[in-house]
Chain A
Amino acid sequence: MKPPMTINLSADICGIKLVNPTILPAGFLGTTKEILKRVANSGAGAVTIKSISSVARDGHKNPTVLMYEAGMLNAVGYSNPGVKAAANEFSNIGEIGVPVIASIIGTEADDFLKVIDGFGDLLSKSKDSSSRFSAIEIPLSCPHTPGFGTLAGQSTPEATSEIVSAVRKKCGLPLFVKLSPNVPDISKLAMVAQDAGADAITAVNTMGPGMVINIDAREPVLDFKVGGVSGAALRPIAVRCVFDIYKAVEIPIIGVGGISSGRDAIEMMMAGASTVGIGTAIYDRGIDVFKGVTDEMSDWMTNNGVGSLNEIIGAAHK
């Protein structure tokens, strides 16, 4: 009999150490420190706060989230309490117990800088890593909020370069740039982000937007009518995006989109992701999905004689 294998699930993204590669992506549950603690205790290797703007936003009216056969549509519209309240909420951030990523949003490059200012020491590289965010993420890719993301042209190479450079100059923490799958050439955009100073690419945000109409009401269900598509429907697209980006850039990739099992996570890593985001799957599998996915990864690795994640990252390219 072979001796039992030791499986090492620890991951590294831009020098940030994770006990496992699963990450809570922006927009899921990240409203308070206490709920992020719960997500961390449920097995996530890192967590992301819900995207924060310089001033408070109520977001779109409900319905903002809807399930359909192949996933989820959402048009939350970036509701958030603004950076002042968020800085207060996330003080003592070390209590969360795992690395925390700050997702920040703005309409112009200047707005992003205001948010960074507003977070103060929480985004200061000189602070001890347990008393600040571990990284900063800028989504240039939301498909359903006027003034932001794709609706504001933030996913063009020009805007991406401008915003990434500005944030790069302002903040010394690892900088993740989150891209939309709805662009003609995602590898080009990833290269632009890398050249402008990004330390990692988060791929991808929701796709679309899509629309679901309730035929009995004769109305689109989402109040904003259209919303970003996530979940199972997005997975093959996200995998392809990560595969293309891996070929194009040197910096690591956080693969996000439709992951709901250990096999899905390994698939995303074989495409080239160093870590994986899990959002929509919380609906079906609950907050324990993080533990579930890591256990399933570990089982697959045991059965296949794979001892560490380095053996699978980018494996589909060989």
Chain B
Amino acid sequence: MSEQIEMVKICKVIEEAESVRTFIFSHKMDFAPGQFIMVWIPRIDEKPFTVSYHTQEEFGITVFRLGEFTKRLYSMNVGDQIGVRGPYGNGFNVSGKACAIGGGVGMAAIVTLATERDDIVIVQGAKTAVSLLYRERFPNMVMFTDDGTEGRRGFPTDYLSQLQEKHKFEKIYTCGPEIMMKKVLDFCLSRGVQCEASLERYMKCGVGVCGQCVCDGFRVCTDGPVFSADVLSKINDFGRYSLSKSGKKVNV
């Protein structure tokens, strides 16, 4: 794949959770965990999605049904065709004893880390039991739900100290709601643990020219989406502002 859009056919659909499906394509892709692709549905739109599944022969994306575009994508079947370009951006730097904390569909960005390294501890936070993702892929995952219907009750960030004391991580990766990532970052900075977070911003070009996805002086599509703690701690917009489709600054 490359800068040109390639049309690919869905070869498998996995029901992940309520309103969440993974679509698999039998298509080779050079890819590093954390990178994303732009997905095109002709006449509808083109939007960014993390690659959540990757092998020598296949790749997949996990879609959370939200608005018009993801409704269309979510309702697609085996044999249907979409356009993809990418992968784009900088992924995670895989090293050391690590933990990956995902919240909601942000899980999609961190699960491919575990296929690279099987000693990574995966922690997932979800609203409720039926929203938990990838349970079969990662049976040893540590789970939290806001309402306590599965796993521990509460947010993963409430148990960071406990987890850290037990595992002594050298690095924590995170992707999910920005407020969660901000808490993870603050925790890591206070404990001297390395940290990398994958940011989400409205994207258009995906290749660093249009200025839609900027966070301070950084382009999330090209300089990110994964940023390390030393960069994140300097980004004033992190946890605060993003640009809407028109370019207006709005609170995240």
Contacts and interface: CB of A to CB of B under 8 A. Distances in A.
Interface of B is mostly: loop
Nearest to B42: A219
B249 interface: yes
A76 B5 contact: no
A118 B78 CA distance: 52
A136 to B, nearest CB: 19
A191 to B, nearest CB: 33
Given A35-B219, A214-B5, A81 B246 contact: yes
B120 to A, nearest CB: 31
Contacts of A18: none
Interface stretch (B11-19, B97-105, B204-212): B204-212
B245 A216 contact: no
B208 A63 contact: no
Interface residues of A, number: 44
Contacts of A80: 246-247
B4 interface: yes
A223 B211 contact: no
Interface stretch (B43-51, B123-131, B177-185, B191-199): B43-51
Interface in A45-60: 50, 56-59
Contact of A62 (B46, B216, B243): B46
A287 B44 CA distance: 31
Nearest to A86: B247
Nearest to A230: B209
A283 B207 contact: yes
Contact of B204 (A62, A67, A282): A62
A224 to B, nearest CB: 11
B4 A31 contact: no
A79 B247 contact: yes
Contact of A282 (B46, B209, B249): B209
Interface in B59-92: 81, 83
Nearest to A215: B7
Given A34-B214, A76-B204, A282-B208, A63 B5 contact: yes
B40 interface: yes
A89 B247 CA distance: 11
B81 A217 contact: yes
Interface residues of B, number: 38
A9 B244 CA distance: 38
A28 B212 CA distance: 10
Contacts of B217: 34-35, 37-38, 41
A31 B207 contact: no
A149 B209 CA distance: 21
A296 to B, nearest CB: 21
Contacts of B5: 63, 66, 214, 217, 221
A79 B214 contact: no
B211 A67 contact: no
A29 to B, nearest CB: 4
A41 B217 CA distance: 10
A61 B45 contact: yes
A6 interface: no
A62 B4 contact: no
B247 A31 contact: yes
A92 interface: no
A30 interface: yes
Interface string B152-167: 0000000000000000
B230 interface: no
B144 to A, nearest CB: 34
Contacts of B208: 282-283, 286-287
**9 pairs of A and B residues whose beta carbons are closest in the complex:** A38-B217, A31-B211, A81-B248, A62-B46, A216-B7, A29-B211, A65-B205, A219-B42, A67-B3
21 contacts: A28-B211, A32-B249, A35-B214, A59-B245, A61-B45, A67-B207, A79-B247, A80-B246, A80-B247, A81-B243, A82-B248, A85-B248, A85-B249, A89-B249, A216-B81, A217-B42, A219-B43, A221-B83, A223-B43, A223-B46, A282-B209
